[in-house]
Structure 1
Amino acid sequence: MKSVNVLVTLSVFALATFIASAYDPSPLQDYCVAMDDPNNLVMFVNGKFCKEPKLVKAEDFFTCGLNNPGNTNNQIGSNVTTVNVDKIDGLNTLGVSLVRIDFAPYGQNPPHTHPRATEILVVVEGTLHVGFVTSNQDGNRLFT
């Protein structure tokens, strides 16, 4: 009888681990150019209406303005110019954002998080001291 209980318990655990999975689902389509006008839409994804793919143009994946320096005359000595789906409609559902950060001498970028995201820094002029903290069981180590 004891072996039957063990077998049933192991079977339940085996089925539970077989059913449980954690992953990001595959996208429904290659791209979904966001639009505010619900006319000519295909579907509603990420809180945005998708433009009819036949109406998509190269301009839907373009923006300008990142070449202009931001005003760093503020308390933290930096300025963040963001580019996301609100600036480039074609970024909807692609999981991509871009920022330009301008720093005054000794300026700062306040600590922040990027859940499920990546950050790549390119320094054009000067030196930038950066670091990150792990968020695993490794004791939240600081790398800098």
Structure 2
Amino acid sequence: MKNQTHALSREVLVATAIQPVVRELRLIDIADYIAFIRMEHFGNVADLVDSAAELYFMPGALRLGLGGEAHVSWTGAPRIVLDLELRPEGAVVYFQLSMTANNASVEVHYVSFEKPDLEPEKNTEYLAAAIQHAMIRGAEPRAEAA
């Protein structure tokens, strides 16, 4: 599949917006993610995502999508992948968040606009403004331990 020029800028928008949520999600023991995902208790994973998101986003703006994956082996570092949906007003972003011990990444799969413009750049600008509007004003990320 050919990457579109605007796809990277949208991934950056989403990744930047959810950084504080990712920090919250990393406070949860990885064994909990592994257990919930392997046992297909996605309602529990959704509760974890909702709890982390409520500090930074309006209710329902960021939520678990279809599920997730736990990549765990004897030879490698564990990796948790969550299907997430970012739902600012007028748009829906379907993406995956991948978390390891030291890294996190976002892969946007699809963006749907209620009223899309013919120019992708204008849609990206709209998405940026909508994400900012969906974020809770004055919410400060937790200070990192030094």
The TM tier, using the shorter chain, reads under 0.3
- With CA pairs under 8 Å and 6+ residues apart, which has the higher RCO, 1 or 2? 2
Larger Cα Rg: Structure 1 or Structure 2? Answer: 1
TM-score normalised by the chain length of structure 1: 0.24
TM-score normalised by the chain length of structure 2: 0.24
Give the helix-richer structure, 1 or 2. Answer: 2
